Structure 1
Amino acid sequence: MAPRLWIMTTFSGANINPLHRQRVKGREIVVTEESRLHLVWIHNRIFVKPLPQYLLSQAFWKTFLEEGSDRAGYRQSPLCKAATGFLRTYRYLIQHESDFHIAQQDHLRLVPKDTDWPSFCRFIAELGHIDDAAVSKRYCYGELRLTRLNFYAPLLLRKFHFEQVHGQYGDFFGRLYGPILFAFAVVSTILNAMQVALAADQLEASHWEAVWHVSRYFSIFSLVGAAVISSWFISLWLWIFLDEWIYTVRRKLEKKREAQGTSC
């Protein structure tokens, strides 16, 4: 799915909110040990994989990256690129000392407890030279919305969903209540307005002219109002959908032009 992630999110590895911004947005930081869920968010939750101790070791990087770069094909191995991209995400997650303190909270432990802020800053500063060519394709993007991943999963993964977060039937069907109730309310309003219009014709025969005018015009107003509101919601959804696609395609073309300019 990685080559097609540009469909779902901004084509930028820096599209990652620091931890304090996650709190500002009302998101709960949930620890996960699954790399595929790292920086995936849904509603008020975002999943973050803790930073392993060995990735903070200078000796580890010198042994497996610098010295290992002489070994045939090692530096370009998928595992090496994935580790480099994963580490780069923490450059954006922890940008301030407040982010560092959040990461070290006991219920999170995203960063090892024995790591201090000055040494972490020195280590992260050395990651500024990492570009997209040195990381796996997944880490050329930042945060991913789980609802979009689940929406496109049947097309791209041949699976019903990317990650099932609803463990109960009630949670699953609860997402459908809003649209169903809205459709039911619109249909009920239209039917009631039509019923009032038909009843108004009988009032005309009874010479209740004032009541007939009120009923007639109110039924027409209700029908037009229901049509306008429904059209507005549909148009708003289409506008948001198309606006996101236009922005996504524009970013994709910009990245393509930048890559062509760099190669030249």
Structure 2
Amino acid sequence: MAPRLWIMTTLSSANINPLHRQRVKGREIIVTEEPRLHLVWIHDRIFIKPLPRYLLSLAFWETCLSENPGQLGDSQSNIRKAAIGFLRTYRYLVQHESDFNIAQQENLRLISKDVDWASFCRFAAEVGHIEDSEVSGRYCYGELRLTRLNFYAPLFLRKFHFEQVHGQYGDFFGRLYGPLLFIFAVVSVILNAMQVELAAEQLSAVHWVSLWSVCRWFSMLSLLGAAVISAWFILLWLWIFLDEWIYTARRKVEKRRENHDEPKC
């Protein structure tokens, strides 16, 4: 999805708020170990991956992620670019000593306790010279909004969502109620206005024929739209319910097949 991220966010690797600004914006910092969720935010939460100790080790870089092509070939080069891009994000996340203190809080531990502020400043000065050409495409961008990623996931990833954050049916459907209620409210106001106009037309000597036609068709479309939306809700619930059962059944069959293929002593 990296080549298409320009549709969803600002094309700037510096589009990352430092940790103290995350608190000012009322965002709760959620620790994640999944790189794909790093700097992804939704509503009042942002996911941040801790900085692993091994990425701060020169020996690790020389052994596993050196610039010389190794056994992994292109794969090693891609991993190196992703690791460099990930390191650079901490240059923006931690810009002040207050950010550094937040990163080392017991409930977060984004940065190891054995790293001091002076050492981190030297590290930040080094990674500050990294250009976009040296990192993977994802890290040419900063923070990503999860709602937009989920919106474009069916189109670009052929998946229903990028990351499912709602574990209950009520939470999943609850986020749809607001937009739908707004649409129904607007349609109701229009229909009421048409009803008043038609009532006034009946008292008039001259009738506006085209208005009657518009009101009739709009009323029919409103009824059809309400029926379609109601059917869509029911089908969506059935799809989610059946998808869970199909996944469960598939996993059970795979597990049974694995047990059958295992050699018996």
Corresponding residue for 1:26? 26
Cα shift readout 1:79-124 (whole Å, capped 9, x = no counterpart): 1111111111100100000000110111110000121111111122
Q: Is the 8 A contact 1:39 1:144 kept in 2?
A: yes
Q: Is the 8 A contact 2:39 2:48 kept in 1?
A: yes
CA RMSD of aligned residues (A): 2.4
Instruction: Name the structure 1 match of 2:124.
Output: 124
Mean Cα displacement is larger for which, 146-155 or 29-38?
146-155
Q: CA deviation at 1:76?
A: 6.8
Offset of residue 46 of structure 1: 0.7
Gaps of 5+ in 1: 206-222, 224-264
Q: Does 1:6 pair with 2:6? A: yes
Q: 1:118 to 1:169 in 2, by over 3 A?
A: same
Q: Secondary structure at the match of 2:106?
A: coil
Deviations 1:36-84 (A, max 9, x none): 000011111110000001112244345555xx33456689711111111
Partners in 1 of 2:97 and 2:146 — Cα distance? Answer: 29
Alpha-carbon distance in structure 1 between the residues aligned to 2:139 and 2:151: 21
- The question of whether the paired residues in 1 share the 8 Å contact of 2:31 and 2:47 is answered with yes
Answering whether residue 121 of structure 2 is matched by residue 104 of structure 1, we say: no
| Alpha carbons of structure 1 residues 91 and 194: separation in structure 2 relative to 1, 3 Å | same
Give yes or no for the alignment of 1:173 onto 2:164.
Answer: no
Which string of whole-angstrom CA distances, capped at 9 and with x for unpartnered residues, describes residues 210-234 of structure 1?
A: xxxxxxxxxxxxx9xxxxxxxxxxx
Aligned residue for 1:51, secondary structure, equals coil
Aligned to 2:67: 69
Q: Does the CA contact (< 8 Å) of 1:69 and 1:75 recur in 2?
A: no
Name the CA distance, whole Å, in 1 between partners of 2:153 and 2:200: 52
Q: Pick 1 or 2: higher relative contact order, CA cutoff 8 A, min separation 6.
A: 1
Please give the TM-score of this superposition, normalised by the length of structure 2: 0.70
Counterpart in the other structure of 1:43: 43
SS at match of 1:29: strand
2 CA distance for matches of 1:41 and 1:119? 29
Scaled by the length of structure 1, what TM-score is found?
0.70
**Identity %, equivalent residues:** 79
Query: Tell me, which stretches of 5 or more residues in structure 2 are unaligned?
Result: 206-214, 216-265
Cα separation, 1, equivalents of 2:190 and 2:77: 62
CA contact (8 A) 2:153 2:162 kept: yes
Map of 1:52 onto structure 2: 52
Q: Distance in 1 between the 2:204 and 2:74 partners?
A: 88
Q: Does 1:146 align with 2:146?
A: yes
Distance 1:69 1:201 in 2: 80
Equivalent residue of 1:69, what SS? coil
Partner of 1:253: none
Match of residue 88 from structure 1: 88
